Structure 1
Amino acid sequence: MPAPFFPTTRFTAATAPGGLPLLGHALALLRRPHDFVAGLPAHGDLVRLRLGPLHAYVVCHPELVRRLLTEDRVFDKGGPLLDKAREVFGNGLATCPAADHRRQRRLLQPAFHRDRLPGYAAGMADEIAGTTAPWRDGDLIDVPATMHRLTTAVTARCLFAAHERAGKLPVHASMDAVTRGVGRRVLLPLPGADRLPTPGNRRFRRARRDLREITRRLVADHRATGTDRHDLLSVLLAATDEDGRGLSAAEIHEQVVTFLLAGTEATAATLSWAWTLLAANPAVRERLHAELDTVLDGRPARHEDLPALPLTARIVSETLRLYPPPWILSRTATADTELGGHHLPAGATLLVSPYLLHRRADLFPRPDRFDPDRWLTTASPAPGTYTPFGLGARRCIGDAFGTTEAVLAIATIAARWTITPTPGRPVRPARSASLAPRPFTATLTRRAR
């Protein structure tokens, strides 16, 4: 095991203050989830919470986070967030336990080999062009919805070779209802709350049914052609393990839903936040325009342009630091163990928040400031400090895909357009399993180079 990057003689443990009878800290987490979580390091390195009847430990120190995310046999996927997410993803790559993960990762890895990125990038460029083609100077757009349509089209084209069907499938509405539903269930884990006949629960159940129908149609369309389209779905349908076993229909469904959601939600949220940050920081935006005018000269960005777009890439890294889409993760102790010198019983629920880590002033000076240039000197942060894609064997398999898409989208769009959020309407995070912004509008202004 590598030596700790943050040696200390003792990690502190405490119980978060302010718990209420019966509810514990659930109400504070529901009302202001991000602020509440970001304030927990002030109380200790391992902070205990009560969420209704559930007890959980929030891991606040980066060295303990490194251990938690890399020792996946001891700290396996589990806990309230995973339990609720499995209602949608089943036993897909993002939610399966360690015992299944190695097999699944090996079967899916060919779809994300670096040699495929140039081909994917070409499809990304086409979809970015298609999304922005109808834009007109002075148009008012719903930014999150527009970015979601863009990333949905990219995912459908690159991973499921189905771009011609993307606009006909109710993917956007279904995924929005699912992520919000999972978020509510995680933040308010009270017994029976998810079974109440509320409008939100009804939307969640309907969206799950819609997603199942979407995946059925994608698979049926793919099987009808009988050809290898060099996409994720082709890999899923042809994959066999060392025993010659392929994936069952249920397993294929779970993987398709996993990548539909993961391939759209995270990048759409990152792009939406990036436009708000650039609008609030005109000096950075001017430097971005200068880079794009020099490299692109008015044309769309291509894969071969990536090495010449370092500021654009740093903008993506800094946006992911401030607004990491998977803002909270959960694990379960598989046996009696210890973390930071403190005993944890088997079955203990542990929570990790990239949002919390990325807002620690001792790790990132002036953490609330949007400063892409911090990555000039922090290009390789110590494990456990910067975790928008997770860590260890469970690191996101599509991290390079997502960052490539984000860089190409920002470069191509910002080279031609300025996106200005509507004044007087602060953009705030949604209460969701993904750290996406609430709907907001912005004005498009065509750039005169």
Structure 2
Amino acid sequence: MVEVRLGPRRAWMVCHPDLVHQVLKDPRTFDKGGPLYDRLRGLMGDGLVTCPHDDHRRQRRLLQPAFTPARVSALTRLMGEEAASVCRSWRPGRRVDVTAAMVALTTGVTSRLLFSGSLDAGRAAAVRACLAVVVRGLFVRTVVPVDALFRLPTPGNRRYRSAVRRLHGLVDTLIAERRRGAPRDDLLGTLLTAAGGGDGADTGPLTEREVRDQLVTLLLTGVESTAMCLASVFALLADHPEAERTLHEELDAVLADGSVPGPGELARLARTRDVVTETLRLRPPGWLFTRLTTRETELAGCRLPRGATVLYSPYLLHHRDTAFPEPDRFRPERWLPGGEAAGAGRAMLPFAAGSRKCIGDTFAMTEAVTAVAVIARHWRLRAPAGPLGRPRPAATLGPRTLVLVGEPRTRPAEGGPASAPPHGRNERQARHAHPPRQGASQDIPLTGPQDAAPKAPRTGPTTAGDDV
């Protein structure tokens, strides 16, 4: 554990997996708080991600039915349809804005979960634009611990405040439209039923503000983090032709007819899941988080006062060479049964642990594996000449402007996998994302709207969000 300075504040960076688990599994002592969550509450209110420990159980019980394995399984083909739709306009040899495509994909999936698809194309585009501004603004607001700077009427501050107002207004409009229309079996319907006191569970009625807070929370976490994960998947595959070839062989065998995978096919896509898991290890979208002590306590032999800021970084843990040999290399095979990562579960923390473990892990992993399968079954995304650029740390970590060239894949010959044309970059040295080193206190950004939770190596982690 290392003491650092965040401007005038003292903070403690927890660097060992055992200590991180100690923090995450004692939410009464180490509650949601610190610079990150102070800023997030201005956007999300006291939704599931940002609410204090005392209110978390009530909120989680309310939202849990939307994320049961049976409910997620029923949405698999919907996820595949959204993945197919984003690449429908791609043309052979043309450049593809992969980041924008993945944000469009996750916006479509998330909006169908929340609103049954009532988020039309125009409003979906507005949501994406708002989220892009909000994510950039959150990063700055968590790095710079001086509130007065963000009250100044600078162009950046005005853009951020405008994006937050517009996002809240869009969600309020959707809520009002639903109240005037017919009930639907989606998460908004569940929240409105709870707001009317008719949810039938011991959760207590929701206020109008709480309905909006939950929807904004799920929009931000459901769209941004999974999109960054998917963009990182395709960036890494473009740089690692052998991993890409292995992935394609599995997809050609399991999805021979090129159809959208259902739950049965998804269970057979083990190597595809390994690709997503290794991406979440190497480039976790949620890469740095904070907690706040609610009382004086001891951690790693150090006495921490009440109100102390404690940080932990999934990125840091995922790059420990004692847990993951050659930690800077992209090696999906490390997640094979009995492989080298089998004993590294405590260090693999893309999604928190304990009672605030990600509620939507199964949903997001299903979405990610389905999207990779559908897109990679039909398209190879190769890098154009020149460097791809490193992922940039903001509220999440990922490639903000990833542009690749789309090549349609040939159908496999009878009895064998599709042939892989020359990749064009076999000789290029693999690149890996490295956020700013965290040795100097002034360089530590406190970002990420979500925390992470470990999954068993065979099943892999399943979302990029704390509680979502």
TM bracket, shorter-chain basis = 0.7 to 0.9
**Larger deviation: 164-173 or 363-372?**
164-173
1:311 equivalenced with 2:267 (yes/no): no
Q: What CA distance in whole angstroms lies between the structure 2 residues aligned with 1:241 and 1:325?
A: 36
Q: What letter matches 1:394 in structure 2?
A: R
The question of whether the paired residues in 2 share the 8 Å contact of 1:153 and 1:163 is answered with no
Task: Write the distance in 1 (CA, Å) between the matches of 2:104 and 2:59.
Answer: 28
8 Å Cα contact 2:44-2:217 kept in structure 1:
yes
Correspondence for 2:170: 214
- Alignment pair present for 1:391 and 2:353: yes
The one-letter code matched in structure 2 to 1:113 is T
Q: In structure 1, the residue corresponding to 2:157 is in which secondary structure?
A: helix
Name the counterpart of 1:67: 22
1:243 Cα deviation (Å)?
6.0
Matched, 1:363 2:323: yes
Q: 2:376 aligns with which of 379, 400, 414?
A: 414
| 1:380 Cα deviation after fit | 5.5
Q: Retained in 2: the 8 A contact 1:88–1:208?
A: yes
What CA deviation, in whole Å up to 9, does each residue of 1:108-136 have, x standing for no partner? 11111111012221211221122121121
Instruction: State how far apart, in whole Å, the 2-side matches of 1:244 and 1:190 are.
Output: 37
Q: Could you list the per-position Cα deviations for residues 141-182 of structure 1 after superposition, in whole angstroms to 9, with x for gaps in the alignment?
A: 211111101110111112321255144330111011111111
Matched, 1:247 2:209: no
Task: Name the CA distance, whole Å, in 1 between partners of 2:240 and 2:94.
Answer: 22
Match of 1:331 in 2: 291
Of the three residues 213, 216, 235, the one matched with 1:257 is: 216
Could you state the TM-score of these two structures normalised by the residue count of structure 2? Answer: 0.83
The residue correspondences of 1:58-207 to structure 2 (distance < 5 A) are 58-162=13-117, 165-169=120-124, 170-207=126-163
Alignment partner of 1:138: what SS?
A: coil
Partner of 1:428: 390
| Closer/same/farther in 2, CA of residues 242 and 313 from structure 1, 3 Å limit | closer
1:285 has 2:285 as partner: no
Asked if the contact 1:53–1:190 (Cα under 8 Å) also holds between the matched residues in 2, the reply is: no
Partner residue, 1:18: none
Q: Distance in 2 between matches of 1:167 and 1:122?
A: 24
Change (3 A) 1:241 1:203: farther
Q: Is the 8 A contact 1:76 1:98 kept in 2?
A: yes
Q: Tell me, what secondary structure is at the counterpart of 1:192?
A: helix
Query: Shift in Å at residue 244 of structure 1?
Result: 7.1
Give, in angstroms, the shift of residue 198 of structure 1: 2.5
CA pair 59-267 structure 1, distance change in 2 beyond 3 A: same
Q: Deviations over 1:306-334 (max 9, x none)?
A: 11100000001000011111111110110
Q: Over residues 280-339 of structure 1, what are the superposed CA-to-partner deviations in whole Å (9 max), with x where a residue is unaligned?
A: 110010111110001101222222211110000000100001111111111011000000
- Can you list the C-alpha shifts for 1:35-74, whole angstroms capped at 9, x where unaligned? xxxxxxxxxxx11111111111110011100000110001
SS of structure 1 residue aligned to 2:123: coil
Q: Which residue of 1 aligns with 2:259?
A: 299
Q: Secondary structure at 2:13's aligned position in 1? A: strand
More helix by share: 1
Whole-angstrom distance in 2 between the partners of 1:173 and 1:132: 20
3-state secondary structure, aligned to 1:374: helix
Counterpart code for 1:402: A
What amino acid maps onto 2:191 in structure 1? L
- 1:214/1:341 CA distance change after superposition, 3 Å: same
SS at match of 2:392: coil
Letter in 1 for 2:131: M
CA distance in 1 between partners of 2:153 and 2:350 (Å): 35
- Aligned-pair distance for 1:226? 2.9
What RMSD in Å do the two structures reach over aligned CA positions?
A: 1.6
- Which residue of 1 is the match for residue 428 of structure 2? none
Helix, strand or coil at the partner of 2:292: strand
Amino acid at match of 1:277: L
Question: Match of 2:160, as an amino acid?
Answer: F
In structure 2, relative to structure 1, the CA distance for the partners of 1:364 and 1:219 (3 Å cut) is same
CA separation in 2, counterparts of 1:213 and 1:165? 15
Look up the match of 2:461: none
One-letter amino acid of the counterpart of residue 313, structure 1:
R
- SS of the residue 2:347 aligns to: coil
Which residue of structure 2 lines up, in the alignment, with residue 15 of structure 1? none
2:406 maps to 444
Distance in 1, matches of 2:60 and 2:340, equals 29
Mapped to 2, the partners of 1:84 and 1:191 lie a distance apart of 10
- Contact 1:236–1:247 at 8 Å: present in 2 too? yes
What is the CA-CA distance between 1:213 and the residue it aligns to? Answer: 1.1
CA distance in 2 between partners of 1:448 and 1:279 (Å): 17
Q: Which segment is superposed worse, 274-283 or 116-125?
A: 116-125
Q: Distance in 2 between matches of 1:65 and 1:281?
A: 32
> Is contact 2:123-2:170 (8 Å) kept?
no
Give the AA of the match of 2:396.
Answer: S
| CA–CA separation in structure 2 for the residues paired with 1:166 and 1:89 | 24
Q: Give the AA of the match of 1:155.
A: T
Q: Which amino acid counterpart does residue 89 of structure 1 have in structure 2?
A: M
In the alignment of these two chains, the number of paired residues is: 403
Per-residue Cα deviation, 1:335-362 (whole angstroms, up to 9, x for no partner): 0000011110000000111011101111
When normalised by structure 1's length, the TM-score is: 0.86
1:436–1:126 distance in 2 versus 1, CA, 3 Å? same
Is the contact made by 1:269 and 1:435 (CA closer than 8 Å) also made in structure 2? yes
**What letter matches 2:102 in structure 1?**
M
Q: Distance in 1 between matches of 2:243 and 2:313?
A: 27
| Residue 256 of structure 1: how far off its partner (Å) | 0.2
Aligned to 1:36: none
